[in-house]
Amino acid sequence: MYEKNQLTNVENVLYYSESLKKYNVPFELHVFPKGNHGAPWCDDVIWLKPARGREYNYLKFSMEWLKEVFGLL
């Protein structure tokens, strides 16, 4: 597992979302109190399993957002 100081600071995603908003790029932002934000893997640890006792299903959130953006709901 990666050390906490090797992961992305939550402030970075706030700066990024400000830039997206500035240029009218659609986005959805979720800031969770727990989990490994910015972890550099793409497997069941991030996508399917609860993060420390809470259900943060990133894949589900992403798919729902994409369907909404592209009018597929």
CA-CA distances (angstroms) from residue 36 to 21, 46, 63? Answer: 24, 8, 20
pLDDT of residue 49: 58
Q: Note down the domain range covering 46.
A: 4-69
The distance of Cα 1 from the centroid of its chain, to the nearest Å, equals: 18
* Among candidate residues 4, 2, 22, the one with its CA nearest the CA of residue 14: 22
Residue-wise pLDDT for 14-53, tens only, equals 999 999 999 999 999 888 776 666 665 555 655 555 555 5
Q: Where do runs of H (alpha helix) occur along 1-73?
A: 10-22, 44-47, 58-69
- Note the pLDDT of residue 47: 56
Total domains in the chain come to 1
